[in-house]
Amino acid sequence: MAEDNQPSKKKFSRRKFLKRSAIVLGGTVVATYLARRPIRRLIAETVEGLDLPSIISTYKPMFWFEVRDDNTILMKSPKVEMGQGIFTGFAMLAAEELEITLEQIEVQHASTGNGPVDRMATGGSNSTSSLFVHIRQTAAIMREILKLAAAKHWGVAPSEVTVQNAIISSGDKRITYAEITKITSNWEMPSTPKLKPASSFKYVGKEVKRIDLKQKVTGAPIYGIDHHLPGMLYAVILQSLYIDSTLKSIDTTDAEKSAGVVKIINQKDLIAVVAQNRYAAETALSKIKAEWDVPKKWHQREIDEMVTVGKGTGTSVQNEGDAEDVIEKNPQLVFKQEYRTPMAAHAHMEPNGAVAWVQQDKATIIIGTQAPDMVRKQVADALNMSKDDVIVEVAFPGGGFGRRNNLNNAAQAALISKIMGKPVHVFNTREQEFLNAYYRPNTHHLLKAVITKDGKVQAITHDQATPDMMIKTMAGGTALSLLGADFISAGHGANIIYNIQNKSAKVWQAETPVNIGIWRSVGIFPNSFAIESFINELAHKTGKDAIALRIELLSGNGQINKRYINVLKTLQAKSAWGQPKAPGTGCGVAIANDRKTIAAAVIEVSVANNQILVTKVTHVTDVGFCINPEGVRMQIEGCIMMGISAALYEGIYVKDGQIATSNFHQYPLATLKDTPQIETFILSGADEPYGAGEPPLGPIAPAVAAAVFDATGKRLRSLPLTPIP
Partner 1 sequence: MQIIFNINGKDVTVDVDASMPLLWLVRDELHLKATKYGCGKGLCGACTLHVDGQAFRSCSLPAVYVAGKQVTTLEGLSEANNKLHPVQQAWIEENVPQCGYCQPGFMMAAAQLIQQNPNPTEEDIKNNITNICRCGTHPRIIKAIKRAAQIQQSVKPATNGRG
The residues of the shown chain that bind partner 1, judged by CB under 8 A, are 82-85, 209-210, 212-223, 225-226, 228, 234, 259-260, 277-280, 282, 346-351, 396-401, 427, 429-431, 630, 634, 637-642, 645, 663-665, 669-675, 678
Q: How far is the CB of 45 from partner 1 (least distance, A)?
A: 40
By beta-carbon proximity to partner 1, the closer residue of 59 and 279 is 279
Helices (H), 295-450: 300-306, 323-329, 372-383, 409-420, 430-435
By beta-carbon proximity to partner 1, the closer residue of 36 and 520 is 520
Cβ burial, residue 555 (10 Å; 0-12/13-18/19+): middle
What is the C-alpha to C-alpha distance for residues 67 and 81, in angstroms, rounded to an integer?
22
By beta-carbon proximity to partner 1, the closer residue of 545 and 674 is 674
Q: How far is the CB of 555 from partner 1 (least distance, A)?
A: 33
Helices (H), 104-183: 127-154, 177-183
Strand order through the sheet with 167-170: 162-164, 167-170, 173-176
Nearest to 67 by CA among 229, 155, 157, 176: 176
What is the C-alpha to C-alpha distance for residues 712 and 618, in angstroms, rounded to an integer?
21
By beta-carbon proximity to partner 1, the closer residue of 400 and 441 is 400
What is the C-alpha to C-alpha distance for residues 616 and 696, in angstroms, rounded to an integer?
15
By beta-carbon proximity to partner 1, the closer residue of 610 and 663 is 663
- The contacts of residue 315 (CB under 8 Å, 6+ apart) are 483, 484, 485, 487, 491, 506, 507, 508, 509
Q: How far is the CB of 101 from partner 1 (least distance, A)?
A: 18
Q: How far is the CB of 120 from partner 1 (least distance, A)?
A: 20
What is the C-alpha to C-alpha distance for residues 413 and 418, in angstroms, rounded to an integer?
9
Q: How far is the CB of 82 from partner 1 (least distance, A)?
A: 6
Task: State which H helix or E strand residue 97 sits in.
Answer: helix 86-98
Q: How far is the CB of 208 from partner 1 (least distance, A)?
A: 9
Dihedral angle of Cα 272, 276, 278, 283, to the nearest 10 degrees: -70
What is the C-alpha to C-alpha distance for residues 190 and 464, in angstroms, rounded to an integer?
53
Cis-peptide, bond into residue 702, ω within 30° of zero: no
Q: How far is the CB of 435 from partner 1 (least distance, A)?
A: 13
What is the C-alpha to C-alpha distance for residues 10 and 283, in angstroms, rounded to an integer?
57
Q: How far is the CB of 588 from partner 1 (least distance, A)?
A: 20
Q: How far is the CB of 87 from partner 1 (least distance, A)?
A: 12
By beta-carbon proximity to partner 1, the closer residue of 342 and 643 is 643
Q: How far is the CB of 63 from partner 1 (least distance, A)?
A: 26
Q: How far is the CB of 686 from partner 1 (least distance, A)?
A: 25
By beta-carbon proximity to partner 1, the closer residue of 65 and 649 is 649
Q: How far is the CB of 713 from partner 1 (least distance, A)?
A: 29
By beta-carbon proximity to partner 1, the closer residue of 434 and 577 is 434
Q: With contact defined as beta carbons under 8 Å apart, do 587 and 581 qualify?
A: yes
Nearest to 442 by CA among 347, 348, 364, 530: 530
Q: How far is the CB of 300 from partner 1 (least distance, A)?
A: 23
CA-derived radius of gyration, the chain: 27
By beta-carbon proximity to partner 1, the closer residue of 468 and 650 is 650
Q: With contact defined as beta carbons under 8 Å apart, do 372 and 80 qualify?
A: yes
Q: Is 175 helix (H, G, I), strand (E, B) or coil?
A: strand
Encoded amino acid at 712, one letter: T
Q: How far is the CB of 230 from partner 1 (least distance, A)?
A: 12
Q: What is the DSSP letter of 440?
A: B
Q: With contact defined as beta carbons under 8 Å apart, do 387 and 380 qualify?
A: yes
By beta-carbon proximity to partner 1, the closer residue of 219 and 725 is 219
According to DSSP, the residues that pair with 680 across neighbouring strands are 619
By beta-carbon proximity to partner 1, the closer residue of 420 and 686 is 420
What is the C-alpha to C-alpha distance for residues 362 and 62, in angstroms, rounded to an integer?
20
Encoded amino acid at 364, one letter: T
By beta-carbon proximity to partner 1, the closer residue of 140 and 395 is 395
Encoded amino acid at 274, one letter: V
By beta-carbon proximity to partner 1, the closer residue of 472 and 520 is 520
What is the C-alpha to C-alpha distance for residues 716 and 647, in angstroms, rounded to an integer?
11
| Dihedral sign of CA atoms 528, 533, 535, 539 in order | positive
By beta-carbon proximity to partner 1, the closer residue of 51 and 226 is 226
Q: How far is the CB of 338 from partner 1 (least distance, A)?
A: 29
The count of residues in the chain is: 725
- The contacts of residue 632 (CB under 8 Å, 6+ apart) are 621, 623, 626, 682, 692
The separation between the first and the last C-alpha atoms of the chain, rounded to the nearest angstrom, is 52
By beta-carbon proximity to partner 1, the closer residue of 576 and 613 is 613
* Strand ranges, E, within 53-128: 65-67, 73-77, 105-109
